[in-house]
Structure 1
């Protein structure tokens, strides 16, 4: 099968079932604490990609077992590049989900799987801690395994599950950050850093994160369900 050949849309029940599975992974706290690693990969990858595009020098990416992460860049400590880099983390997973939903809506399952693999490989080059390397390697290996060995139905189910998870799971982190800030925690969160950089209240940046994630969920969900 050619990489760019469109694949027929899966049965509606499979699309709905993968969405329910993604929701079941996102809501229970114990399962979420493990699954959140995938969202952290997207989050830090968003910081890293925008840093490079905006002209900053990417030094390192670290992913930790508590599902936190850190992206280290070099450049001016203020300015548009720094603002864009700091703002890119929380919207990254929802926007990736939205892009994935557009590809799946066009039947490009294989393109999505290989594009995701390429992005993971690019991120792996910059990861600088053992846990992060292991997490990205295992995630990338899963994509390669499904892409090479999976039947078309298996590839479609996997791709839909991944995109649903990015869309649904991408909503929760901003609410978690909001709860932490309400308790007086996370003083150096992305929202607080952006507040110091732009003199716009952190609550406004939180509202921005919420708006992006919820709009992506609605738009991506419509594409996946064929509305």
Structure 2
């Protein structure tokens, strides 16, 4: 039992380190990080649809993204601004949970669903279309042609990228909220909407929720695989 636990710990640590190193490789790293950007912007869009409409989503070569939506109420603007980082962190948690439960097919369906949903309805900028098509095609080829082990390793790597980048991006927005609060993206938007809660408060919230989801994602994924 101890051997199995140590082996799983090494596997999780290896993939987290691989994801961390990969997202910091020039050019390739930005390409890989767009998977988290896609989830982040999709979170904004899905919530925006509840009280308004989504005009478009842009995915950029530097791994940044933008969702353009119209909201008719304060609550709609608030929850749309709140959704990006929290949804990305939740998806990292869900990915590890599904892998731990050996529900990889569900995770594949979710990832492909986000890609095709964005390609059909929202993403219109050239790089965004290129990224969605190229990533979806490569993903499908590896799933169809690769072995089950390759599929499982690929999904674990994607889950690790989602987890690592969700924490890193949340830390970055926290840092920006402290030194340039009016330039802190979603944290700045929430500060304007809430008035009494400045951007650093929302920066800390985004970072803490990312750590919470990451901890429980790893814990649940590890625990389920161990059993």
8 Å contact from structure 1 (residues 91, 209) kept in 2: yes
Superposed CA deviations along residues 112-163 of structure 1, whole A, max 9, x for unmatched, are: 1122101111111210211111112222223222222221111110111111
In structure 1, what is the Cα distance between the partners aligned to 2:13 and 2:179?
A: 36
CA shift at 1:165, angstroms?
A: 1.3
- Number of residue pairs matched by the alignment: 214
What secondary structure does 1:88 align onto?
Answer: helix
* SS at 2:183 equivalent: coil
Matched, 1:121 2:116: yes
Provide TM-score, normalisation by structure 2: 0.85
In the other structure, the counterpart of 1:179 is 175
Give the root-mean-square deviation of aligned CA atoms.
Answer: 2.1
1:221 counterpart = 2:211: no
Q: Match for residue 207 of structure 2? A: 210
Cα pair 1:171 1:213 within 8 Å, conserved: yes
Secondary structure of the residue aligned to 1:107 is coil
Gap change, CA 1:144 and 1:33, over 3 Å in 2: closer
**Which consecutive residues of structure 2, in runs of 5 or more, have no partner in the other structure?**
1-6
Distance in structure 1 (CA, Å) of the matches to 2:93 and 2:46 = 17
Change (3 A) 1:216 1:49: same
Which segment is superposed worse, 144-153 or 79-88? 144-153
1:130: which partner in 2?
A: 126
CA distances 1:32-84 after superposition (whole Å, capped 9, x unpaired): 444332222121111111112x22111111112222221111231x4111111
Structure 1 or 2: more helix by fraction:
2
- Which of residues 154, 160, 172 is equivalent to 2:156? 160
